[in-house]
Chains A and B, each alone.
Chain A
Amino acid sequence: MGAPAVISLQQWDRRHGELCRAGMMEPSYGGPLGRHVQDGDLRLCELQFDNSPAALRLWNFLLSEEDRLHDARMAGKCIVGTMKDLGTVPVLAYALDNVVAFYPDGAWWTPCVMRHSDKLLRVADSLGLDESFCPVRAMAGAFVTGNHFPIPDMLLCSVGAVCDDFSAIAQRIEGLGHPIVWWEMPPRRSPAPGEPTVLLPTGFTVSPQQVAFVSRELRRVARALEQLTGQRLDATRLQRGFQQANKVRQTLHELRRLAYTVDPCPLPALEMLIAEMLAIHFCSDQPESLAVLEALLDEVQQRAQEGVGVLEKDAVRVFWINPVADLRVMNLLEKVGGRIAGSDYMFCHALEPIPQDLEPFEALARCALSDPMVGTVGDRGQRACQQAKDFGSEAVIISRIPGASHCAYEGDVIGKMIRRELGLPVLEIEVPPISDTVEPALRTRLEALMEIVHTRRRS
């Protein structure tokens, strides 16, 4: 298979031919990466990819999601769009038979992947969702054009302790004739003195009142899914669903542990970002997402065992906060000598196992409430500090998403906490969907951060 390396799209297409001739077996959605460029995914031409068949499978799985959704529609399956909620409702949906849940918010990457040729942001502009909103406004454009995902049979959207602009975007979509079942996710409240305390999977505490409230909300969501599918979401189904979701989470847990700690780095930042995202949406096929992750984990374990990787041994260990609107920036980090050593891509809670010894809705409610994003920025900063410490990070990058209301001030607060508690250098950057025009400036910042760490290492 050759040594691990980071290669271009052209190199991948050549390699794909070689691997096929050598007998590589591919799933139904396999094929050369270059075919996605024909479909308009132009940004792929400018990205660098891991050269393993497991990474090829990951990319093909990701980039064939729309086909999978259309196939599901043709096959008469129920399609459920789970919006904003990061990782909770898909677990409910996949506990049912013949249901495919997906994450319409994922369209926020379409303008990047298609280099704006999709015109989704322009459509969003015409709907009054201009650039003062998060790039997730592309989702509204996708609902209007219908060129990406099929219109779901049901839309479920959390509201409350989520970013304000997201709610406005979802409301606009509802106003266009796409009814949404809203459910409330309250901001996490620490128990008052004397009030009983519930410990959440991510280590935060919350009042039992809030767990009960979110449980009720999730039961309401479950009833809506039952009405749609005519199936009952009983305890057996739910436990089975939890088990499947937990397999994905456990695989990701091990993948992250190895990819973020082993030296040399066994898997590039870009593939790890895509892989982590599978925890929240399963890319419209939960069993296959597990198979894709297991293949990646096998590859990473083998590389770790052989002591080989894709980056230089002394790459600067960076803890990364928030996903980037332009995937190319993950390549850039590695180009300037960095590597990911820990991440908070806004859904840490979806990486924690769902407790299976609790009443199912209470277990899910606890998971949902343990989302660092629904608490204070201080909570999120605290967790970032802990994770950065655990992963042995040498620097922290906080990536702002232009227009995202949850990002406006959090960088400053989290940055101060990290400097104070860990003494690590912190860099705050803003990454637009296509970052080419700001690339020199981004590069200077990233390089300067690497230089700071190298100077520290020397002294």
Chain B
Amino acid sequence: MIVAGIDAGSRAVKVVLLSTDNGTEPGVLASDLEDSSPDQAAHAQRVLDRVLQEAGHTMQDVGFVVATGYARHLLDFADKAITEITCHARGVQKHLPNTRSIIEIGGQDSKVIHLDAQGRVEDFTMNDRCAAGTGCFLELVARRLGVNLNELGELAEGSKQPATISSMCAVFAETEIIGLLAGGQAPCDIAAGVQLAIARRIASMAGRRLTCPVVFTGGVARTRGMRRVLSEAIDHPLALSPEPQLTGALGAALLAADHARSTTI
């Protein structure tokens, strides 16, 4: 049987297909992602159809679909909606089973998820009221610095002295960045300063409750240099989840597999 996990996030739609045949451990059949568009439900369906087609399947072959992410309740073709918190935890567990803390930074929010020794979510903290600790802040800064989001990390690596971004609000921080640029501050220092500001914000949200091993996931984890800066800010070693942007969708697919298995049994 095939199951699907769809993470309909604010920034991208991610799809993971799993094959659950013969009662074996589910294996990834195909996956992909696309930038989000306003019609989240139709878009998610299109991405799923495409991924299925590329894997040589159709929607008829899919036994169970779990939707997660910001638009999870809009996907009426999904069998179940599960929060990103549970899905990221499950996705990370697949690759790094001993994980006790997860830091997830997505396009619109950031989360710190605490797991118990059995890998169950114990607690979580979430920031979705302020853009300064999220991926959209990085996007805003990349735009202001005239680089692609994927190039921002590379740019930051050239910094010898990261700029100090003191504003805790993304809107004020942008004004601050305009001032820094006008004052002749090097773009690489600004990019590095912004990474540092995000990392410190996440560290403050995490407080002292982090337990090792700590894993970094979500779209922002793909940004070069972010893991190192965040690891320093939280003062803990930080492992990177494989394909961090797909972790939520993978978790959703694994939960879909669990569900399909339990209903089959």
Chain A residues within CB distance 8 Å of chain B: 419, 425-426, 438, 440-441, 444-445, 447-448, 451-452, 455-456, 459
Contacts and interface: CB of A to CB of B under 8 A. Distances in A.
B95 interface: no
A441 B128 contact: yes
Contact of B120 (A426, A440, A445, A456): A456
Contacts of B129: 438, 441
Contacts of B82: 447, 451
Contacts of B118: 459
A448 B128 contact: no
A81 B126 CA distance: 40
Given A438-B129, A441-B128, A441-B129, A451 B86 contact: yes
Which 7 A-B residue pairings sit nearest by Cβ, starting from the closest? A448-B85, A448-B83, A441-B128, A451-B86, A447-B83, A455-B120, A452-B121
B104 interface: no
B120 A444 contact: no
A440 B83 CA distance: 11
A448 B86 contact: yes
Contacts of B84: 444
B124 A448 contact: yes
Interface string B124-165: 101011000000000000000000000000000000000000
Given A447-B83, A451-B85, A459-B118, A441 B123 contact: no
B109 to A, nearest CB: 7
Contacts of B121: 448, 451-452, 455
A440 B70 CA distance: 8
B122 interface: yes
Contacts of B109: 441
Contact of A425 (B81, B83, B122, B126): B122
Contact of B83 (A426, A451, A456): A451
A426 B123 contact: yes
What secondary structure prevails in chain A residues at the interface with B? helix
A448 B121 CA distance: 9
Nearest to A336: B83
A414 to B, nearest CB: 14
Nearest to A458: B120
A441 B121 CA distance: 18
A426 B126 CA distance: 13
Contact of A459 (B83, B85, B120, B124): B120
A452 B82 CA distance: 11
B9 to A, nearest CB: 12
A411 B232 CA distance: 28
B83 A444 contact: yes
Nearest to B121: A452
Contacts of A456: 120
Nearest to A438: B129
Contacts of A445: 126
A117 B122 CA distance: 41
A401 to B, nearest CB: 16
B85 to A, nearest CB: 4
A448 B120 CA distance: 12
A293 B129 CA distance: 39
A456 B122 CA distance: 9
Q: In the complex, which of the residues A425, A452, A459 has the most CB atoms of chain B within 10 Å of its own CB atom?
A: A452
21 contacts: A425-B123, A426-B123, A438-B129, A441-B109, A441-B126, A441-B128, A444-B83, A444-B85, A444-B126, A444-B128, A445-B126, A447-B81, A447-B83, A448-B85, A448-B121, A451-B82, A451-B86, A455-B120, A455-B121, A459-B118, A459-B120
A451 B123 CA distance: 11
Interface string B80-99: 01111110000000000000
Contacts of A440: 70
Nearest to B71: A440
A426 B129 CA distance: 19
B205 to A, nearest CB: 12
Nearest to B126: A445
Contacts of B85: 444, 448, 451
Q: In the complex, which of the residues B83, B118, B121 has the most CB atoms of chain A within 10 Å of its own CB atom?
A: B83
A452 B126 contact: no
Contact of B122 (A438, A447, A452): A452
Contacts of A426: 123
Nearest to A423: B122
A66 B122 CA distance: 46
Given A441-B109, A452-B120, 18 more contacts: A425-B123, A438-B129, A441-B126, A441-B128, A444-B85, A447-B81, A448-B83, A448-B85, A448-B121, A448-B124, A451-B82, A451-B85, A452-B86, A452-B121, A455-B120, A455-B121, A456-B120, A459-B118
A408 B187 CA distance: 38
Nearest to A445: B126
